[in-house]
A and B are shown apart, each in its own frame.
Chain A
Amino acid sequence: MAWTAAQLLAWLDEVEPRAAGRSHFEWLELPPTTAPEAIQRAYHAIARTRHPDLFRAALRPADLDRLVRMYARVTGAYAELRTADSATAYLRRHAPAVTSPAPPASPTSPAPPAPAAAPGASAPAAVDPARAMNARALALYRRAEGALRTGDRASAILNIKMAIAADPSSQLLRGALAELTRT
């Protein structure tokens, strides 16, 4: 489950320069939501793949230190979003500042309609996913497909959300999420 050292270093290179400007939801790789279960699941998913303990042997001390600092940001975000109340308060405070990379996944807010051209993750893709998103998002998209095949809808949704965090510009991913959360 843990990422490889190479994957991890790529992630550090990606998030470090933008660390100061990232919203709590971006750190958790999650669209804005106030559902504590979804927030905990997102935090656990990151812990499973990137917790510093997993890389004690695999990374040089300097890189491990980078990881601890970035991972502490994830934990800090989780600390402020853990309860429905704190997540709601955060959203209210930061509503204009949070650049929502995806439609809100809160169960109370309706999902926007899927773009006509974008197929759902459950249907065979008319558009080649490999062309519709970057490589990291694609890996997560494939994982979502795998989860759907085993009937694990929750994991599929989570992976699509993580894919959106990795590639906010992909229309295909947004459509897939809309389809998955609509039914």
Chain B
Amino acid sequence: MGLAVGIDLGTTNSVVAIATPTGVEFALGPAGERVHPSVVGFQPDGSVVVGLDAKHQRVDFPTTTVYSAKRLIGQNVRAPLVQLALTGLPFPVEEGPNQQPVIVIDGRRVTVPEVSGHVLAHLKACAQRQLGQAVTDAVITVPANFTDAQRQATKEAGRLAGLEVLRLLNEPTAAALAYGFGQHKDETVCVFDFGGGTFDVSLLAIKDEVFEVLATDGDFFLGGDDIDRAVAEFLAAELNRQLRVDPRGDPALMTRLAIAAEAIKIHLSEATAAEGTVDGLLHRGRSLSLPFRLTRPQLDELIRGYVDRTIELTRNVLTTAGLEPRAITEVVCVGGSTRVPLVRRRLAELFGREPALRINPDEVVAQGAAIQAGSLSGALYRGGGMATRDAVPTAALSPLAHGDVPWAQAAAPARPILLDVTPATLRIATAGGYSEPILDKNLPTPIERTRVFTTAHDQQRRVVIECGRGEHKRFAENEPLGTLVLDDLPPRRRGEVKIEVTFRVDTDGILHVRARDADTGASCDADLTILGAPTRGAA
């Protein structure tokens, strides 16, 4: 077996790291970057560029440079929220087989797992170049509220990159692991993950090597991109006001404004005002310059709604776990958006303490993934592994290397045990358009539960079991997961056939569904067809 790495496959940026007995080492990109943009540029000659190079070509080739693939992976392209997300993307997306989104590049259809597979292959290549050894295995992190289809599609992306996915690890759990691993803590932490495209908040109990998720919640369509868009819209309005140019409907111009918006946002995390000019705005053959001034209070006002939503979800998750804000002993910040001063201020107000910043919020998830990869592969416990020789340049930069416990001196910390929960209620459709829950939200995993259902009509020979996830009683208001069909039922009167439906969520958070005819004892197992999931070799 080759090396096992940990990968934070982010919406905007990705990070790859490896944990060894000496600490955690980050794999750098060609320009020495630790954070790799999750951007894939398709070239006219059929080749691809990934990472920083692809991000740089985004302005010149907006329709063949794909970013934010994580927002589309494993999604049903017909879902309203996905349609909404598509409106902001400059590259064309169509409906492919099994209702999955496919991206059209110069007439060629590319699946989303293929795009993410290119990102993963790039990260793998960076790690191999730096470590001088083959990388074969990976732990990849996903948002806690990722659906089954999104998880399967992420695994598929790993497979396309030639990686054996040892485990899909929930991002908040990974962050807690990076924070608490080997520290013999007894704490209750809140992991507040405000990334590029998604928001997650989780509460975890850490007791020695056990990391138990108590409750988790999140918003799949809330992130730093929204803040960028709010600032970009401010710039667009300024462009319209000052120069009488409406950039909406012009992808190249909007991309230019979005890039400027991100820079302004980052600047306002340090400074109280941003002032300057956005140059090179090409419009009808002219190159325009837009002067702007934005203060931090103005920015706060532009993004207040998004930040309010994160605090509301954080309050919800505390309620779910039955905890008061003061019961939280540490607030761990994850994701670049936690650098926004308004976010930090609101967190400090809620918890009555400043958030923890000991570990870089851009790297904390990859660090946790690397620890889990090292643990699952056993590399953490094999003394004098490869990295003791090769880790020199970056091990010194590793947060763990100057953390409280230098691994090289301490005995290898005990293997961490990660106890996760279900991120949403998993249910099936019942007669009359209603639904019944099989597994509730925030249940510990792995877990299996069976409920018994019956037929709705006399002589019914076939039942169609529609599975979904969400918190709504009416089935249609939940997110569809797929359908299971049970055939050849014995011809009986309505209500006389007993059908046992079993939902099992495994340690990867993947749902297995089984339906069984209880009376005949005939086990009519069937596979779940997941809408939006990639079909091999399709598209």
Chain A contacts to B: CB under 8 angstroms: 1-2, 40, 43-44, 47-48, 51-54, 56-57, 68-69, 71-73, 75-76, 78-79, 82-83
Contact = CB atoms under 8 A, between A and B. Distances in A.
Given A40-B212, A47-B210, A78-B444, 11 more contacts: A2-B415, A44-B207, A44-B212, A48-B210, A52-B507, A53-B418, A56-B376, A72-B504, A76-B449, A79-B444, A83-B322
B507 A68 contact: yes
Main secondary structure of the interface of B (DSSP, over half): strand
10 contacts: A2-B415, A53-B376, A53-B417, A53-B418, A72-B446, A72-B447, A75-B447, A76-B449, A79-B444, A79-B447
Interface of B: 167, 205, 207, 209-210, 212, 322, 376, 378, 414-415, 417-419, 443-449, 504, 506-507
A36 to B, nearest CB: 9
Given A76-B449, A79-B443, A53 B507 contact: yes
A54 B205 contact: no
B446 A57 contact: no
Contacts of A57: 378
A53 B371 CA distance: 14
Nearest to A52: B507
Contacts of B414: 1
B446 A52 contact: yes
Contacts of A47: 210, 212, 417, 419
Contact of A75 (B167, B210, B378, B446): B446
Contacts of A52: 446, 507
A48 B207 CA distance: 11
Contacts of A53: 167, 376, 417-418, 507
A76 B205 CA distance: 18
Contacts, number: 54
A88 B448 CA distance: 22
B412 to A, nearest CB: 13
A40 B205 contact: yes
A48 B449 contact: no
Nearest to B378: A57
Given A47-B419, A53-B507, A68 B446 contact: yes
B376 A75 contact: no
Contacts of A73: 448
Contacts of B417: 44, 47-48, 51, 53-54
Contacts of A78: 444
A53 B445 CA distance: 12
A48 B448 contact: no
A73 B450 CA distance: 12
B500 to A, nearest CB: 13
Contacts of B443: 75, 79
B178 to A, nearest CB: 17
A69 B448 CA distance: 8
Contact of B444 (A1, A56, A75): A75
A144 to B, nearest CB: 19
